[in-house]
Amino acid sequence: MKYILFLILLICSGLSFGQSLSQNEINRKVGLVWGLIKYHHPDVSRGQYDWDRELLAMLEKSRDLRDQQELNALLLGLVNKVTTNKTRFKIEEESGTEGLFRKNEDYGWIEEYAFGEELTATLLKLRNNRRIGDHYASSEWLNNFLNFENNKAVAGFDASIESHRLLLLYNFWNTIQYWYVNKYLMDEDWREILPALTKEFSEATTTKKFELAKLKMIAKLNDSHSYRISRYLWDSLYTHSPGLNGKLVNDSLVVTRVLKFSSAPEATIHPGDVITEIEGLPVRDYIERNFEPIISASNKNYLDHRIQKWFLLSVRNKDSVRVKVLSPASGISGQQTIQLYSSFGKIEKDQQLYNPRKEQWYDLTPQVTYINLDSITSKELKTAFNHGKEKKAIVLDLRNYPKNISDTHLSRFLYPQKKKYLKVLFPLASQPSLGDPDGQSPLGFILDPFKTGRRNRDFYKGRVILLVDRSTMSKAEWLAMAIQGAPNVTTIGEQTAGAPLNIWTYTLADGQTASFTGLGGFYPDGRGVQREGVALDHVITESALNYDPELYLKQALKIIEEEAKMESIP
C-alpha cells in the first residue's frame, strides 16, 4: 500500500514537467522567454547576438518537443548559450525602484508556467538584473524618448513561413510588454491575449489573413496614435467608395456632403439625411463587426472620427451598398442603394450641409471674438488677441490640428506667469516595464517643455471658451491642456482622441511600421488624458435628427451669457 501511494505521489509531482503541451502553448512560452532574455540579459540587450535568428531557430526546434520538461531544457539551453564567464549581472530586487511607475510590470508568468526549479531561478535572475544594454531600446539624449531603430526588418522575411510570422508577433509583442507606458490602460490584459494572437499568426496562411492579424494585434493597443492601415487591404479589398461624406452622430451617419459626377445618375440621398442601417445592420453594429477589431482607437468617439469618412467603402467587385435612410425634413424612412465607384469622374455638383466661414478669426458678437487655431500663424494670433483683448470673451476653436503655433504662442496672451501644465510618464531605457511618473526633459534646466507662460500683467483677463471634439488629437490635445492651465478657461465639447503626447514608430519584421503613443500624459494634479481625452467642463451632445453644424458656437455664446449673469449677481 505504501509503495502504491509513493508511486501516485511520484506521478503527480512529475505531471507539471511531463505534461503534454499544444504547439500554440509551446510557441507562446518560447516567445515569452525569448523576449525576457532580449531586454533583460546583460549581453543580449547590448546586441551581441542575432536575436531574431535565435528565435527562428528556437521555433523550429520546438516542433519536435513532446512535453513541458523538454521545453524547459530547450529554453534553459538558450539562456546558457548566451551566458558566458564574461557575462556580468547586477542583481536588484526592490531596491532602487522606489517612486517609479510599476503598473506595467508583468513577470508573474515566470513562476506560474511550470518552468521547473532551475529554469525558473534563471528567469528570475534575469528579471532582477539591472545591467541592461540599450541596443534595442535606447534613450535619445535630447528628450529621453526611446528609439527602436535597431529593431529592423528581417532580411528574407517570408510571410508564408509560420516562424517568420511568429517572429513579427513576438518582436512587437515584447516591445509593447516592456516599453509601452500606456499598456496598463488597455481594455484587455496584454499577456492574456497572447494565446489568441499566437493562434491568429500561426494560422495566417494567406496574405489577407496575415494583414488582418497585424491589424488586430495593433488594434489591441487601444491607442489613437496606432493608426496603421494595411495597404494590402486598402488597395486590394476596399476599392469602391461612395460619392458622399458624413458624420457619425449617436450611432447614425448624418450625410454632410453629396457629390454628383458626370458619369453618375442624380443622387437620391441629400445633405442632412440620416443613415441608420448598413447592409441590414444598425450602424453601430456594422462598425463593431467590420472596423472595431482592426482599427486602434483610444476610445469609441475617436474611432467614429477615424472611420466616418470611409466606412461605407465596399469590398472588391461590389459597386453598391444597401442602407436605410431617414429624411428628417419629411420624416420618411426607407431602404436605398448607394452607388459605389472605383474612380470618380468630373464633379458636376457639390452639395454640402454646411459651409463654415474661412476667416482665421472674426467677431461672433460685438463682445466675443472667435479664433480658429487650425492654420493660424503666430502673427495672425497676435493680431486676433490684440483685437479681442478688451472684449468680454474669446472663443478658441481646437476642433482641428493646429499647424503653425505652439503652447508658447498661446500662453504669452493667456498666462499671468510661468506655470506647469503637463506631467509626463516616461519609460526608462535601463529598466524595462518601469517608468518615471514625473519625467523631466534633459534640457529642462534651459527650457522646460512641461511649463509655459511668463510674468505678464497684460494677459487676457476675459472669459476664454475652448472648443474641442473627437478630432482634437495629439498636438491639439497637448495645446488644449496648455490653454486649460490659464485663468478663466471653460472647455466645452465631446471626448477627444485620448492620445496627447508624442507618437513613436516601430519597424516590424516584414519592414512595415507600427506606431503608438510613447509617453503618458497627465494634468499636474494627476488626472490622465491618454484614452480619456482632455477634461471637459460642459459636454455637448449632438442630435442626428436635428443636426446643427453651429451648435458648438451657439453653446459657447450661451455659456458666456450665463457666466456673465452669474458674475453680475452680488
What domains can you pick out in the chain, each with its CATH number?
19-193 (no CATH), 235-352 (2.30.42.10), 361-568 (3.90.226.10)
Those residues whose C-beta lies under 8 Å from the C-beta of residue 435, and which sit 6 or more positions away, are 100, 101, 102, 104, 181, 425, 426, 427, 428, 520
C-alpha to C-alpha distance for 489 and 484, rounded to whole angstroms: 6
Query: What percent of the chain has pLDDT above 90?
Result: 76
One-character DSSP codes across 307-344: HTTTTT-B-TT--EEEEEEEETTTTEEEEEEEEEESS-
Q: What is the pLDDT of residues 368-400, one digit of tens each?
A: 999 999 999 999 999 999 999 999 999 999 999
**CA atoms within a 13 Å half-sphere pointing along the CA-CB vector of 568:** 6
Query: What percent of the chain has pLDDT above 70?
Result: 94
C-alpha to C-alpha distance for 466 and 526, rounded to whole angstroms: 21
Exposure b/e, 331-349, CB count within 10 A at least 16 = b: eeeeeeebbbbeeeeeeee
Determine the straight-line distance between the first and last CA of the chain, rounded to whole angstroms: 94
Pair 394, 369: CB distance under 8 Å: yes
The Cβ of residue 497 has, within 10 Å, a number of other Cβ atoms equal to: 30
Q: What is the pLDDT of residues 427-482, one digit of tens each?
A: 998 899 999 999 888 766 567 899 999 999 999 999 999 999 999 999 999 999 99
Please report which confidence band the pLDDT of residue 94 belongs to, taking 50, 70 and 90 as the band edges: low
C-alpha to C-alpha distance for 500 and 481, rounded to whole angstroms: 9
Residue 45, CA distances (Å) to 341, 431, 518 in order: 51, 12, 20
- Of 79-93, 154-168, 399-413, 451-465, give the lowest mean pLDDT range: 79-93
Which triple of cell numbers denotes residue 126? 534575469
185: three-class secondary structure by DSSP: helix
**CA atoms within a 13 Å half-sphere pointing along the CA-CB vector of 353:** 20
pLDDT at 93 over 70: no
Residue 482, CA distances (Å) to 144, 381, 398, 435, 452 in order: 21, 16, 12, 23, 7
- pLDDT value, residue 342: 77
pLDDT at 1 over 70: no
Q: Which amino acid is at 444?
A: G
Q: Which amino acid is at 316?
A: R
Which triple of cell numbers denotes residue 262? 458626370
Compute CA 161 distance to the chain's CA centroid, rounded to the nearest angstrom: 29
C-alpha to C-alpha distance for 188 and 503, rounded to whole angstroms: 22
The Cβ of residue 436 has, within 10 Å, a number of other Cβ atoms equal to: 18
C-alpha to C-alpha distance for 488 and 355, rounded to whole angstroms: 31
pLDDT at 364 over 70: yes
The Cβ of residue 52 has, within 10 Å, a number of other Cβ atoms equal to: 22
Those residues whose C-beta lies under 8 Å from the C-beta of residue 533, and which sit 6 or more positions away, are 298, 299, 301, 468, 472, 477, 495, 496, 497, 498
Average confidence score pLDDT of the chain: 91
Question: Please, what sign has the CA dihedral across residues 74, 79, 85, 91?
Answer: negative
Q: What is the pLDDT of residues 250-298, one digit of tens each?
A: 899 999 999 887 766 777 899 999 999 999 999 999 999 888 999 999 9
Helix axes 68-82, 23-40, angle to 10 degrees: 20
- pLDDT value, residue 311: 72
- pLDDT value, residue 88: 95
- pLDDT value, residue 343: 75
Q: What is the pLDDT of residues 163-206, one digit of tens each?
A: 999 999 999 999 999 999 999 999 999 999 999 999 999 999 99
- pLDDT value, residue 2: 46
If phi > 0 it is left, if psi is from -120 to 50 it is alpha, else beta; for residue 205 that is alpha
Which triple of cell numbers denotes residue 16? 507539471
**CA atoms within a 13 Å half-sphere pointing along the CA-CB vector of 437:** 14
Q: What is the pLDDT of residues 315-361, one digit of tens each?
A: 556 788 899 999 998 888 899 998 888 777 777 788 899 998 989 99
C-alpha to C-alpha distance for 453 and 475, rounded to whole angstroms: 18
C-alpha to C-alpha distance for 401 and 141, rounded to whole angstroms: 28
Which triple of cell numbers denotes residue 108? 508573474
pLDDT at 12 over 60: no
Please report which confidence band the pLDDT of residue 141 belongs to, taking 50, 70 and 90 as the band edges: confident
The Cβ of residue 102 has, within 10 Å, a number of other Cβ atoms equal to: 12
- pLDDT value, residue 13: 42
- pLDDT value, residue 318: 79
One-character DSSP codes across 101-134: B-TT---THHHHS---HHHHHHHHHHHHB-----
Task: Summarize the confidence of residues 404-424 as an average pLDDT.
Answer: 96
In terms of pLDDT, which residue wins out, 527 or 17?
527
- pLDDT value, residue 234: 75
Task: Summarize the confidence of residues 490-503 as an average pLDDT.
Answer: 97
Pair 237, 317: CB distance under 8 Å: no
DSSP β-bridge partners for residue 493: 468, 539
388: three-class secondary structure by DSSP: helix
C-alpha to C-alpha distance for 232 and 438, rounded to whole angstroms: 41
One-character DSSP codes across 532-557: T-S--SEE----STT--TTHHHHHHH
Cell 471653460 appears where?
490
Kindly report the pTM of this predicted structure.
0.92
Which triple of cell numbers denotes residue 392? 468680454
In terms of pLDDT, which residue wins out, 3 or 247?
247
C-alpha to C-alpha distance for 458 and 92, rounded to whole angstroms: 53
Task: Summarize the confidence of residues 9-35 as an average pLDDT.
Answer: 76
Please report which confidence band the pLDDT of residue 568 belongs to, taking 50, 70 and 90 as the band edges: low
Report strand pairing: 423-427 vs 435-436.
antiparallel
C-alpha to C-alpha distance for 215 and 316, rounded to whole angstroms: 19
Which triple of cell numbers denotes residue 442? 534633459
- Tally the residues of the chain: 570
